[in-house]
């Protein structure tokens, strides 16, 4: 991917590159009903949403942000370039002009992060003194990684916030320590300290884990780490191709379920009728082969 300022092809940059500030400002421009300029409903229609889908987004705190996240999740063609094209199509060039500096900065940061992911990590010779240095050597990032062998692989990456760790412990007991024999990637347990969190989680989600379980709660909605992990995983499988993401709701919520995940089937632990087969159902979903279609 070319990442040199004006040479960047914005049509190849996924929407996950856009940070919170840009998304909030889009809401400030598009949420208010305007008799002259196009609002969020016109943008949603240009993105391909139906009338009923648009009506469903009206209840969101920021309909424009909700539409953007849903579009990002379900449309394989959703990109920064496509978004700018849609805004231009509905004659909101004012939004494009005002937000373009912020968008360009987000794209620059995204490209830099992607470039770092593709580069081999550098080590200080004084630290790496355990034998001769060779181009083939790889640095372990998880507890059982063998730098001289194949990277450690997992059935699922668990996306969670610290306040939900007790439920993650229960998940470990039910899925790893029973006949299910699944192998979960739990960041606080399995990842070695000392590396960049964003770089490590990106590699684990994309290259080491077949699926990702997202533990949803009110606290999850306030977690920047969970937000990044979810959006990064969705950018790898737009439209839920391969069924790689599995949202899990394990306790009642006082806030709306994240719109970016509403199109996915939820494993709901809060319903008494489903608790008897909850773990068996989740284990079966994690055990299925990943579709690459």
pLDDT in tens, 91-108: 999 999 999 999 999 899
pLDDT value at position 286?
Answer: 93
Task: For domain 154-287, give the fold.
Answer: Rossmann fold (3.40.50)
User: d(Cα 255, Cα 59) in Å, to the nearest integer?
Assistant: 12
DSSP helix/strand/coil, 49 = coil
- At residue 119, the pLDDT reads 59
**Pair 205, 232: CB distance under 8 Å:** yes
Q: Check: CB of residue 43 under 8 Å from CB of residue 64.
A: yes
Instruction: Kindly provide the residue ranges of all beta strands, DSSP E only, lying in 113-159, ordered along the sequence.
Output: 154-159
Q: What is the pLDDT of residues 227-274, one digit of tens each?
A: 999 988 888 876 545 568 999 999 999 999 988 888 888 999 998 877
**Structure tokens given for 51:** 């009338």
Which pair of tokens denotes residue 33? 């009903």
What pLDDT score does 251 carry? 93
Which tokens hold the place of 156? 């699922």
Low-confidence ranges of the chain (pLDDT < 50): 1-5, 124-137, 240, 293
pLDDT at 242: 53
Instruction: Provide the residue ranges of all domains of the chain, joining segments of one domain with +.
Output: 5-118, 154-287
Tokens matching residue 241:
């191709």
CA distance 127 to 125: 5
CA distance 163 to 291: 32
Predicted local distance difference test score (pLDDT) of residue 144: 82
Contact 72, 234 (CB under 8 A): yes
- pTM (2 decimals)? 0.56
Q: End-to-end CA distance of the chain: give it in Å, rounded.
A: 23
Instruction: Tell me how crowded residue 225 is: count the other CB atoms within 10 A of its CB.
Output: 16
What are 10's two structure tokens?
């914005």
Q: What is the pLDDT of residue 146?
A: 78
E-assigned strand segments in the chain: 154-159, 184-185, 209-216, 245-249, 267-268
For 5-118, CATH number out of 1.10.533.10, 1.10.10.10, 3.10.20.30, 3.40.50.300 equals 1.10.533.10
């Amino acid at each position: 991917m070319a990442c040199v300022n004006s040479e960047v092809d914005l049509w190849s940059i996924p929407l996950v590159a856009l940070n919170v500030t840009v998304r909030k400002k889009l809401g400030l421009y598009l949420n208010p009903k305007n008799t002259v300029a196009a609002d969020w409903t016109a943008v949603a229609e240009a993105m391909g949403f139906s009338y009923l889908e648009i009506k469903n987004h009206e209840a969101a705190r920021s309909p424009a942000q909700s539409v953007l996240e849903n579009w990002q999740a379900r449309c394989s063609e959703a990109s920064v370039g496509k978004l700018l094209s849609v805004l231009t199509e509905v004659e909101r060039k004012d939004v494009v002009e005002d937000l373009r500096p912020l968008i360009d900065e987000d794209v620059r940061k995204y490209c830099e992060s992607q470039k770092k992911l593709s580069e081999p990590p550098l080590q200080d010779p004084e630290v790496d003194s355990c034998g001769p240095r060779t181009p083939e050597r790889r640095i372990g990032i998880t507890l059982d990684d063998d730098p001289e062998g194949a990277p450690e692989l997992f059935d699922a990456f668990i996306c969670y916030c610290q306040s939900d760790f007790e439920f993650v412990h229960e998940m470990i007991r039910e899925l790893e320590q029973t006949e299910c024999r699944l192998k979960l990637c739990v960041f606080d347990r399995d990842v070695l300290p000392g590396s960049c969190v964003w770089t490590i989680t990106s590699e684990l989600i994309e290259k080491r884990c077949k699926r990702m379980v997202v533990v949803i709660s009110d606290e999850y909605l306030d977690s920047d780490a969970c937000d990044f992990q979810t959006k990064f995983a969705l950018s790898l499988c737009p439209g839920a191709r391969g069924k790689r993401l599995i949202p899990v709701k394990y306790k009642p919520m006082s806030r709306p379920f994240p719109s970016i995940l509403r199109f996915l089937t939820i494993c709901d632990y809060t319903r008494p009728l489903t608790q008897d087969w909850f773990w068996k159902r989740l284990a079966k979903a994690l055990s299925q082969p990943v579709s690459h279609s």
